[in-house]
Amino acid sequence: MLKQFYLICIVILFLNNGTNLYGSTTSSKFFYAKKNYITSILHNNKQKQIKYLKQIVQYGTKLNKNITQYKYELYRLDKSTKLHITKQKSIKSKYSISSVYTNKNTIVVNFNKHIYKSYVRFSKEKAGYFKYIFSIKGNFKDASPTKLSINGVYKIKIFQAKTNLLKIVLLNKTDIKPVYHIGKRQLIITVYPKKQDIKKNLYNLREIKIKKTEQKTNVFNVNYKNKIIVIDAGHGGKDSGALGPHHRMEKYVVLNIAKYLYKSLKNRGFTVYLTRDRDKFISLRYRTKFANKKNADIFISIHANAARKARIKVAKGVETYFLSPARSNRAKRVAALENKGDIHSMSYSSKNILLTLLNRTKITASQKIAIDVQSHILYNLRKIYGDKIIDAGVREGPFWVLVGAQMPSILVEVGYISHPEESKRLYTKLYQQKVANGIANGVVSYFAKSMK
């Protein structure tokens, strides 16, 4: 069934790229070579893989495509192949930051290159006003004329402090606690409104306070009945997932959170399904097959993380992943824990190529959902647990439970069950509910933005 699904994906890829066929003959041959190469991977036919890789390299060279990864894969399969890899010529801009703008309650900084956590330093000062300073490695041509404003923030300054140091400073009379996330080529700063201003903000839920004896009700301006969400509680049954102190099991934690999330999204008007509602083992391929069958708009897989013995006491935090070839060792390690039993015959390079080709269209949407979900989980948890909640970030990872999904999809690692303190919190009803509500708020935030 998994091979059949990928063949369907190839057809989808064919349709999405059909315009290539009306171009040059070389372009058509290049496209067909890639399609046939994927088919040969799925059938585990080494000779055909070599044949089509040679075609990809031949036609890709003529079209001036970046085919470095295909060359390496060809060399891995056929050592007699001469490996000639030249760096692609690129025009480097004098300015590393391409644009800075505000979008409702966020500041978006776009870069011309990949960035890392070291590119951003955050500090806070209190001298009359609360001052939040973001020191960003990079230079922006339009720093001076750019004007930034967010409803609920008194003033935002942006200026080039040094040749390679851009500063964004938020000033406000009250503490607004901005949250920031670093993507592949993007920095996103999110400012949450004060409680009294929440109902004025289109991207946030409006909660009505009522008596303790009454049920809490959420009010929304948009009807989400036609939006379908599939929630996947990781592991289950014979697969316990990660194990924590005192034999705490991941499969129970994530099932509880999935059920709370189900209720939370249903209360908000969504159509919601669970891949499992009890302690039952379900194969990875069935989980996404179920989501595809339901024509889901979003697929959310919930997991708890674990660290190796040497790092049990230090590894902690919440992180959200979207599907893409992993670039960091940490992402690869986490993915390895969740990918057991899938696509053993494929090399790591082949997996990366397959991911790149089959999931290009949904990666951007998945990243946006991941950012919203991560932000709201942190906001919800920190109201209760403060700085004990670590932001482990939004990351890319090759999670095969997400590969089969034909819709934007994310995987949420709700904490480290291997960490002594986090493990205790993960097993509490309060923590589980706060995580679930945070994910739900993130989903609403994503749709509110996309529907505007």
- Give the closest residue to 282 by CA, choosing from 241, 221, 330: 241
User: 3-state class of 119 per DSSP?
Assistant: helix
Is residue 102 pLDDT above 80, yes or no?
yes
Domains of the chain (ranges, CATH numbers): 2-77 (no CATH), 97-195 (2.60.40.3500), 221-450 (3.40.630.40)
Instruction: Give the residue-averaged pLDDT of 416-435.
Output: 95
**Residues 110-160 pLDDT 10s:** 898 888 888 999 999 988 889 999 999 999 988 888 889 888 899 999 999
Distance CA 412, CA 390 (A): 14
Give residue 188's pLDDT: 87
Is residue 32 pLDDT above 60, yes or no?
yes
Q: From edge to edge, which strands make up the β-sheet containing 165-172?
A: 120-127, 129-137, 165-172, 155-162
**Residues 388-397 pLDDT 10s:** 999 988 887 7
The identity of residue 207, as a single letter, is: E
Q: How confident is the model at residue 342 (pLDDT cuts 50, 70, 90)?
A: very low
Give residue 81's pLDDT: 73
Is residue 208 pLDDT above 60, yes or no?
no
Q: Is the dihedral of CA 342, 345, 350, 354 positive or negative?
A: negative
**pTM confidence score:** 0.54
Is residue 353 pLDDT above 50, yes or no?
no
Give residue 69's pLDDT: 73
Is residue 378 pLDDT above 90, yes or no?
yes
Q: How confident is the model at residue 358 (pLDDT cuts 50, 70, 90)?
A: very low
Is residue 18 pLDDT above 80, yes or no?
no
